[in-house]
Amino acid sequence: MDFKIAVLAGDGIGPEISVQGVDVMSAVCEKFGHKVSYEYAICGADAIDKVGDPFPEETYQVCKNADAVLFSAVGDPKFDNDPTAKVRPEQGLLAMRKKLGLFANIRPVQTFKCLIHKSPLRAELVENADFICIRELTGGMYFGEKYQDNDKAYDTNYYTRPEIERILKVAFEYAMKRRKHLTVVDKANVLASSRLWRQIAQEMAPNYPEVTTDYMFVDNAAMKMIQEPAFFDVMVTENTFGDILTDEGSVISGSMGLLPSASTGESTPVFEPIHGSWPQAKGLNIANPLAQILSVAMLFEYFDCKEEGALIRKAVDASLDENVRTPEIQVADGAKYGTKEVGQWIVDYIKKA
Site for a copy of itself, rule CB under 8 A: 88, 90, 94, 120-122, 125, 141-142, 144, 146-148, 150-161, 187, 189-193, 195-196, 218-220, 222-223, 226-227, 240-241, 243-248, 250-252
- Residue ranges in contact with ligand IPM by CB under 6 A: 90, 93-94, 189-190, 219, 243
Residue 342 contact partner, candidates a copy of itself, ligand IPM, none, CB within 5 to 8 A by sort of partner: none
Least separation in angstroms between CB 278 and a copy of itself: 14
Our CB check for ligand IPM shows the closer of 92 and 254 to be 92
Residue 39 burial by Cβ neighbours in a 10 Å radius (0-12, 13-18, 19+): middle
Q: What is the H or E stretch that residue 351 is in?
A: helix 339-352
80 is annotated as an active-site residue: no
- In single-letter form, the type of residue at position 81 comes to N
Indicate which residue of 130, 180, 243, 282 is catalytic: 243
Q: Decide whether 3 or 71 has the Cβ nearer to ligand IPM.
A: 71
Is 151 one of the annotated active-site residues of the chain?
no
Which of ligand IPM, a copy of itself, none lies near 223, with the C-beta cut-off 5 to 8 A by kind? a copy of itself
Q: Which one of 11, 53, 187, 349 is the catalytic residue?
A: 187
Binding partner at 240 among ligand IPM, a copy of itself, none, C-beta below 5 to 8 Å by kind: a copy of itself
**Cβ within 8 Å of residue 266, ≥6 positions away:** 100, 101, 102, 103
Element (H, E) at 38: strand 35-40
Catalytic residue list contains 187: yes
Using the minimum distance from each CB to a copy of itself, give the nearer residue, 12 or 309. Answer: 12
- Do residues 135 and 107 lie in contact, with contact meaning Cβ atoms separated by under 8 Å? yes
Q: Are 172 and 200 in contact (CB under 8 A)?
A: no
Buried b or exposed e, range 270-280, using 16+ CB within 10 angstroms:
bbbbbbbbbbe
Give the residue with the Cβ less far from a copy of itself, 115 or 244: 244
- Between 3 and 197, whose beta carbon lies closer to a copy of itself? 197
* CA dist., res. 53 & res. 49, Å (int): 8
Q: Check: CB of residue 236 under 8 Å from CB of residue 168.
A: yes
Using alpha carbons only, what angle is made at residue 185 by residues 179 and 188, rounded to the nearest 5 degrees? 140
Least Å distance between CB 349 and a copy of itself?
A: 31
CB of 128 to a copy of itself, least distance (A): 14
Catalytic site residues? Answer: 142, 187, 219, 243, 247
